């Protein structure tokens, strides 16, 4: 009886160890390990634009409906160092937004600021006008593929993202839900 119980326990223990080892060995390349992410409502709105935009439910940033047909708001997000940015490769930015068409735009830009000189350089840009407009949220990704591999150097630079929501008529819907930033490792940029 004791031997049978011991054999069952050893068999179960061995099964658990093998399962654990299989999980550890599973590839994680489909994930964006430790990418920088934010919800749109976590940004800082320009003082002049506070009445133009609402930050709220489900992390959403959107232009308010109002008496004027034209509205624009700028929201900025501080990018902090995360492990996913230190992978050598090509910078990629993914955003979830709504752009209803010709009367709206969501423009998201990644900037790098030299800490010694103050020089500011645009690194990446995702423009909702590059995609079909819709009254539903969509997720799109952009990459900086030109030149050599890019590195997020937080020793010499600060990084931030600037999002501009614009509408040119009361029918235009410009909304932003989330932004993700990471370096895509490898020799192929897509």
Domains of the chain in sequence order: 33-185 (2.60.120.260)
Per-residue pLDDT reduced to its tens digit, 115-169: 999 999 998 999 999 999 999 999 999 987 655 556 788 999 999 999 999 999 9
Higher-confidence residue: 48 or 25?
Answer: 48
DSSP 31-63: S-TT-EEEEGGGSEE-GGGTTTEEE-GGG-EEE
The pLDDT, as a whole number, for residue 15 is: 43
Specify the pTM: 0.78
First to last CA, the chain: 61
- State the pLDDT at residue 85: 83
Q: Could you give the angle at the alpha carbon of 104 between the alpha carbons of 100 and 108, nearest 5°?
A: 105
Average pLDDT of span 73-92: 87
In degrees, to the nearest 5, what angle opens at C-alpha 87 toward C-alphas 86 and 91? Answer: 90
Residue 91 scores a pLDDT above 80: yes
d(CA 45, CA 48): 8
């Amino acid at each position: 009886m004791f031997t049978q119980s011991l054999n069952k326990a050893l068999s179960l223990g061995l099964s658990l160890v093998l399962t654990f080892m299989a999980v550890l060995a599973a590839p994680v390349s489909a994930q964006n390990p430790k990418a920088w992410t934010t919800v749109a409502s976590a940004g800082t709105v320009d003082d002049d634009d506070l009445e133009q935009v609402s930050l709220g439910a489900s992390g959403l940033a959107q232009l308010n409906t109002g008496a004027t047909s034209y509205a624009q708001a700028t929201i900025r997000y501080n990018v902090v160092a995360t492990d996913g940015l230190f992978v050598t490769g090509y910078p990629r930015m993914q955003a979830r937004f709504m752009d209803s068409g010709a009367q709206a735009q969501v423009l998201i830009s990644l900037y790098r600021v030299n800490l010694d000189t103050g020089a500011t350089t645009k690194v990446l840009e995702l423009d909702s006008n590059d995609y079909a407009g819709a009254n539903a949220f969509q997720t799109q990704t952009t990459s900086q593929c030109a030149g050599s591999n890019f590195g997020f150097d937080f020793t010499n630079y600060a990084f931030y993202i600037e999002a501009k929501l614009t509408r040119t008529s009361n029918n235009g819907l410009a909304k932003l839900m989330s932004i993700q930033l990471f370096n895509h490792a490898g020799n192929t940029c897509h």
